[in-house]
Structure formats: C-alpha cells, structure tokens
Structure 1
Amino acid sequence: MSTRVLVLLLLLAGILLTTLTVTLVLRPEAPLSIRGLGKYYVVYTRQNTSSPEAVTAIVWDYRGLDTIYETVVLYMAIIGGLALSTTTRKIALKTRIGLTSIARTATRIIVLLIATIAASIALHGHLTPGGGFPGGSALAITAMLIIPVYTLQSLLDQGVSSTRLVAVRGLALTALGLVAVLPVFRGLEAVTNLKFYPSHVAGMLISGSLWFYNLFEFLAVASGFAAVALYLSIPEEFYREEIRGVRGGE
C-alpha cells in the first residue's frame, strides 16, 4: 500500500471518528420547528417565483445578485487559467490517431446520453434539483471524453477551439446579465421575476426568469470548462516550444 493511500485512509478514519465522537458527546437534536426565514421561503416561494424548487428560487431570485457575483468569480478563475495557457501560434499536434472504432462507437453513445441528461438537469432546474451549473459541468465532461478517444487535433480540425468556446462563454454571460437588467427598461427593479417574465410559455411552466438563468448559466459553464479542458490537453512539449520561440524572438 502506497503512502498516499495510507494517508487518505487515515484522514478518512479520523473524520469518521471525529464525527462519531461529536455526535455521541453533544447529542444534537433535530429541530422541531422551522425558523421564520425558512417559513417565508416555504410559504411564498411558489407564489413569488412560480417554482416548486425552492433552492433554485432562492439562488436565482431571492439572492440573485449574490449568485451573479459567485459566477463572476468562477469566470475570473477560468480567464486566469486560459491566460496562463495562451499561445501565440496555431495549435497543430502530431497525434491524430485516436482509439479503436469500438471505443469511438461507445463514446458516441455515452456523449449523447450525457448531453441529454445535462440538458435535462439544466432546463428542469426550476422544477427539480439541478440547474445551469451542474448541467453545464456535466456537459463539459463530454469534451473530456472526446479528447482522449478522438484526440484533441480532431476537435480542432472540426473548428472546436478554446477561442470559440471562450466567445460562447462570453455571450452566455452577457445574456445572463441582460436577463437580470432587462426589467429596468420597463421601470422595474433589476432581477425582477414574474412582474416582467411570464410564468408559462405555450402551457409549459418556466417560472419566469429562472429558466433563462439556468439556460445561459448552462451554456456559460459548459463552454468555460470545455475550453479549460482543451488547453489542459495540449502536450507540455508544445508549451516548451512556445517558450523557446518567445525567448528566441527576444
């Protein structure tokens, strides 16, 4: 057994032992009543947001500005990672042969299933637990599957590049902000929900702005993580040649 595995097992055992000890010593009791803030969300969430999913309503509607700030922090981290991986020349890799046809066929099926589930998680986030962030994270996994099976160069040849993914992320983030500020042009406060956006479209419940928030968050997160995955898949030798070229130009 390696030292790393042993350390992880000891940490896990320590966490379990600490949790058990605290539970036996303090004997915490489950609350028998709901706090006033909790009662407010339980009573008024469906009325104010037309959404049965209280968590999504709280995240996007009741404290939407806080969520936007958290989203900006995530995108700044992605921008920082992409800035460190920026290249001055076109990426052209030598490896163009992926795995076998059996692996490729299985990957096609898996990618289709993941994309379908990811879209369902995002677009039904106002109805069931989920939303744009977990849906986008799930969709980004498809890029991580395609790269080792079909090779990174095959994606680049199809026009799927980090530059375009970053552009999609920027457009989605802009649309996310527009959803929040559009009500202002009608004389309403920013981040307004049902006063500006419809609760139903063609008989389907969209819970006002919640559906649009989840949609654009889904696109932004998926494209951002996929762009990072593409950069991380570039071999280290390419960056070494890039550094040597920059130093030689100086």
Structure 2
Amino acid sequence: MEENKPTEIHPTDNSNDAKPEKKRKIHAYHHIKAHSNPLADKNFEYPLNPAAKDWSNYFAGKFKSQHAKVEFADVGCGYGGLLVNLSTAFPDTISLGMEIRDKVVEYVADRIDTLREKEPGKYQNIAVEKSNAMKNLPNYFEKGQLSKIFFLFPDPHFKKSNHRRRIISKQLLAEYAYVLKSGGIAYTISDVEDLHQWMDNHFSQHPLFEKLTQEELDADPVVPLVYASSEEARKVDRVNGKKMIAVFRRK
C-alpha cells in the first residue's frame, strides 16, 4: 500500500524544528499521486552498470565518494522514515532509498538536507534515488553487494490483473538474491493480509531464501525499525491496523 502524504514535514519527528522555507516547499506536495505503475514506460536515468554510477553528490563527509558502496536498500522508500532511522542506528553503513515518484524523491532529498543542516556531521550516510527497482536494480548494485533490502508496505495492486506489478515475484526474487550477499536479509511488511501471504509464499518457495524464525526476529534490532519507522507504519497504528512481517535470509 502506498503512503498518503503526511500533512507536515517530519525531519526529526518534530515538525516544529523544520525550517519555514522547507515547510512551504513541501506543503506544495500534498497532492502527490499515491500510486505509480512500475511497468509503464517512463523516462528514468540509470547507470549502464554499477561501476558507471557516480555517487559523489549523494552522500557527505567520510561517505562522499564517487565509488561509495551502498549496503542497505529501501525499495519504495516513501517519505524516508526508515531511511532516517537507519542512518542513526547504523552510522557507519550507507543506505539508499529508491522511489519511483518524482515529488516524493524531492521531498526525501529536502528532508535529508534539512537534517544535515540541523545536525552537522549526521545523516551523511543516506540518500535517495529516483528509480524503478523492478526494472533497473542490477544497474545499481553489484552481485552480493547488499546486506539488507527492505520492502515496506508496498502497493498491493489488488486487482488480479495487476498482480504482475507487485514488487515481489518469482522473477524479481532472482534479482534480489543476486544483489544480496550470502546471509543478507530481506524484510517485508504489510497491513494487507493477501499481500503479506503473497510475499511470504514467494520468498518461502524460492530456493535462494529461507525464512527467519521468531527467535531470530526477536533478536534482530532492525525489526522494530521496520514496524515503526515509516509514515505508513504510523498511519496503520493510528487506525489500529495489523502489521504483518516476514523476513528472509539469502542462502
């Protein structure tokens, strides 16, 4: 399920700290389209291969490098809630949010800029990229590059005729397995029972993934972030919805 636009900026979960000019700019995005067809023909710029990608202007400080190595990828990052929390929880790890909607990408980029201005030296290890992960993921990441990949509240595409648009499929799992290193973790969560079962079944049936046990989930410090960090997760909480998680290890 795609996220609805929040009514105010949440750079540090405290909207009163945001710069007024940032708030005015982001308010113009309130009517962002909630859904996007990832199979439609759109003009996306993407690298010919991972080595061709120049990351110089994405990260800052010690992470600023043409050949920066992303380790965590949040596919369909929405408004960047998880991305921001990953930055502080894993300060030595580079995380990239990947989002298909132009205005949402602009919002997240502004959010990161605001955080860096407010707290110099922090949030230098995160960035956002406008991309279609269903088509171009291997153009960004080398084989076995990622240690974590996230699919938080993806669009359910309820109609059966649109199931081919879902971010989890047999074909796409082969690509996710390719970019994940051995032992890498894929996180999925949804408040839609049908989509949760769909993702769980596809991962469970794939020969390159194995499901984490409840004991392993309880010991994973990332799981609480997956449950609570994103704007969509907070929206589900506001309506007392049910959040269903399934996490898998790359064999």
TM-score interval w.r.t. the shorter chain?
A: under 0.3
TM-score, normalised to structure 1's length?
0.21
In proportion to residue count, which structure has more helix? Answer: 1
TM-score w.r.t. length of structure 2: 0.21
